[in-house]
Amino acid sequence: MRGLAIAAVVLVVMVIGFLFLGGPTPVIIVAPETVFHWGPLDVTNTMFTSWIVVAILCLVAVIAGPRMQLVPTGFSGFIEAIVSGFYGIVEGVAGEERAREFFWVIATIFFFIITSNYFGLLPFNFNVGVPEAGHGTTQVEFRQTSFAGIDLAYIPFNPQEVEVEAHVAEGGDPHAETTPTVGAADEHAAETAADGSFTGLLAPYLRSVNTDVNTPLAIAIYSFIFVEFWGLRALGFGYLKKFFNFGNLFRGKPMGVIDVFVGLLELVSELSRMVSFTFRLFGNVFAGEVLLAMMGFLVPLVLINVFYGLELFVGAIQAFVFAMLTLVFAQTAVASHGDDHQDGHAAAHE
């Protein structure tokens, strides 16, 4: 009976949340939205959020770094424990010598991705931004204000959804006053109500960085460049032989054609790794954002916490997988050098 009573209370709370606290109908937009302009640069919400994430990481380093002690305590001790633990994982995979070489890149990837993923879960990511007028679609009511000289719009606690027809924005209602939207093109306008509220789509100032496919792609390219760099530094230009192995072909050996074909497969595999890295991270983070938006609309109380917990787990796992795969591929690139070196010594002794 006790279990049934708890289930009934949870169900009632969920229904109340859906009826009275549900957010606006989610609008799924894949591309990041431009929220302001900096000279000729169109700054999107994901770009702006990435600047904040980098600033947070730099601030943590500035605060914790000078306070490191032999016996760390407080905030510095907490940060040192996290960094030391992650270094131990890298050292366990790559060994002590290679860990010092790889760690700064692997750690940068891991901490940037996990901070970006967790920052994207904060509730204010979707509630403050700039209005965008829409035509003939269900939209949400929001209000416009100014903070420190910056115009912004926000969704009130219990927004109303309204149908905005195209002829209203085009002047169909002579009593409706229209005001140009902030950051939108001049031909767009949003309906202004008597109390100063607007109806339209809201482009949030802050959005999870990795929901913009350009960010995972940039990190994947960054990962690819360093893996190839470490391979070249360990093996020299001989590292390129695994991609362009024409030695046996020039000598007229039958295996030459196979060596060339295998080398091309290795090259395609190396390049395709950037694609798999990109869409693994982008797909999981974007799907999580959509899931939370839908659950916030359907079940804003109780059950949404379960999905937040799931996204906390997914955010950490995606950062860890991206970093560890980069580490494994880097270790593979330099380990082949050690194998060739040992084979050379064995041949010399024979």
**pTM for the whole thing?**
0.74
201-213 residue pLDDT tens: 677 888 899 999 9
Model pLDDT, residue 147:
62
Mean pLDDT of 54-72: 83
Question: Which carries the bigger pLDDT value, residue 327 or residue 175?
Answer: 327
Residue spans per domain, the chain: 126-204, 210-349
Model pLDDT, residue 22:
59
Residues 282, 113: Cα–Cα separation, whole Å:
11
Q: Is the pLDDT of residue 197 over 60?
A: no
Q: Is the pLDDT of residue 35 over 90?
A: no
Q: Is 146 left (phi over 0), alpha (psi -120 to 50) or beta?
A: beta
Model pLDDT, residue 202:
73
Residue 13: exposure state from Cβ atoms within 10 A (0-12, 13-18, ≥19): middle
Residues 203, 317: Cα–Cα separation, whole Å:
28
**Contacts of 293 by beta carbon, 8 Å cutoff, 6+ apart:** 26, 28, 126
Model pLDDT, residue 222:
93
Q: Is the pLDDT of residue 180 over 50?
A: no
Model pLDDT, residue 156:
58
Model pLDDT, residue 18:
58
* Chain mean pLDDT for the chain: 76
Confidence of residue 296 (pLDDT cuts 50, 70, 90): confident
Confidence of residue 184 (pLDDT cuts 50, 70, 90): very low
144-170 residue pLDDT tens: 666 666 666 665 555 544 444 433 334
Residues 59, 279: Cα–Cα separation, whole Å:
30
Share of the chain above pLDDT 70, in %: 67
Model pLDDT, residue 163:
42
Q: Is the pLDDT of residue 187 over 60?
A: no
% helix / strand / coil in the chain, to the nearest 5?
65, 15, 20
Q: Is the pLDDT of residue 50 over 90?
A: yes
Give the range with max mean pLDDT: 6-20, 115-129, 143-157, 182-196: 115-129
Share of the chain above pLDDT 90, in %: 30
Model pLDDT, residue 28:
76
Give the range with max mean pLDDT: 69-78, 82-91, 124-133, 338-347: 82-91
Model pLDDT, residue 341:
43
Residues 139, 160: Cα–Cα separation, whole Å:
9
